[in-house]
Amino acid sequence: MAGAVKTAREALAAWLTYLEQERRASPRTVRAYGDCVGAYIVFLEQHQGGALSLPGLAEVSGGDLRAYLAFRRGGEKGLGPRSVSQALSAIRAFHRWLDRRLDTPNAAVTLVRGPRLPQGVPRPVSEDQANGLIEEAGFDSDLPEWEIARDGALITLLWGCGLRISEALSLTLADTPLGETVRITGKGGKTRLVPVLPVVREAIAGYAAAQPFALGPKDVLFRAPRGGPYSPRHAQALMQRLRGRLGLPDSATPHALRHSFATHLLGAGADLRAIQELLGHASLSTTQRYADVDAAGLLAAYSKAHPHA
């Protein structure tokens, strides 16, 4: 491949093909990476006044990359720290691939540090709030029965199994009826087995029996009103509708149910390593955030209950 690739733009096209065909990245991910690295290459070409060759990518200096990041931060529509960090991550991934596949290393790029980001604290919903969301989904008289079953099943699945919304919506008809565990493919193509509670199995079985569409085994299970795949945007709208009825904060999102799964397990005495495996976290430090949330909750309860508080 190295001999066929002569320019930076050809290298980008080859990398995106690799992401799509070998890494099985989603079209959205491929498009986002292409936009990030494509803008980077355009900046470098404008900076040097001409097309950028493949060897030229090996000669990009740390100063060049820092100048690009500064350029993206500037202006009226400048990127925020998190978006700049994501752009830098995509560029580093591109250069790592250049090193491995096209023998075009660049050590200077790996030394550039991104902006410091504040560590976000998970904001779960309480057990009562999660139960309230499930119950409220069952009282939507304006919807057909199968949609009511779908909404309740999705919320029960997210809270009961701690799935990312993309993982939940990737379930197919072939996955039903759910057994005691379900095999989930998460970020980076990592596969894990997640235990399934009886209440989750019952909710999914009820929805699968009620949905009116003729689905094949490989078709995704959750469907929108007109029969198309149910999307994360649909799930966000569902949670927005339900939290509005219950008076919950804007932080009550589909992902908040995953946070709740972790914090409620931790509060019940589950081991942090076990929770890491259930969530599919690559690093224990990511799961550690839930211990901080649980400790904060215990302190708040202590402050309310202790006579000297």
pLDDT band at residue 102 under the 50/70/90 scheme: very high
CA angle 221, 237, 172 (to 5 degrees): 10
Question: CA-CA distance, 296 to 294, in Å (whole number)?
Answer: 5
Kindly tell me if the per-residue pLDDT of 215 is higher than 60.
yes
Residue 143 confidence (pLDDT): 87
pLDDT band at residue 113 under the 50/70/90 scheme: confident
Residue 216 and residue 175 in contact, taking contact as beta carbons nearer than 8 Å: no
Q: What is the pLDDT of residues 13-33, one digit of tens each?
A: 999 999 999 888 888 889 999
Residue 219 and residue 172 in contact, taking contact as beta carbons nearer than 8 Å: yes
| Phi, psi torsion values for 2, nearest 5 degrees | -60, -35
Kindly tell me if the per-residue pLDDT of 119 is higher than 60.
no
Kindly tell me if the per-residue pLDDT of 239 is higher than 60.
yes
Kindly tell me if the per-residue pLDDT of 125 is higher than 60.
yes
Kindly tell me if the per-residue pLDDT of 158 is higher than 70.
yes
Q: Which amino acid is at 61?
A: S
Kindly tell me if the per-residue pLDDT of 276 is higher than 90.
no
Residue 8 and residue 54 in contact, taking contact as beta carbons nearer than 8 Å: yes
Those residues with Cβ within 8 angstroms of residue 188's Cβ, 6 or more apart along the chain or in another chain: 282
Residue length, the chain?
Answer: 309
Question: CA-CA distance, 149 to 264, in Å (whole number)?
Answer: 24
Task: Return the higher-pLDDT residue of 116 and 173.
Answer: 173
Which active-site residues does the annotation give? 164, 187, 255, 258, 281, 290
State both tokens at 66. 């820092």
Residue 288 confidence (pLDDT): 62
Rounded average pLDDT over 240-248: 88
pLDDT band at residue 129 under the 50/70/90 scheme: confident
pLDDT band at residue 273 under the 50/70/90 scheme: confident
Q: Which of 5, 10, 72, 7 has the alpha carbon at shortest distance from 36?
A: 72
Question: CA-CA distance, 73 to 83, in Å (whole number)?
Answer: 9
Q: What is the CA radius of gyration of the chain?
A: 23
Those residues with Cβ within 8 angstroms of residue 201's Cβ, 6 or more apart along the chain or in another chain: 177, 178, 179
Q: Is the pTM of this model over 0.75?
A: no
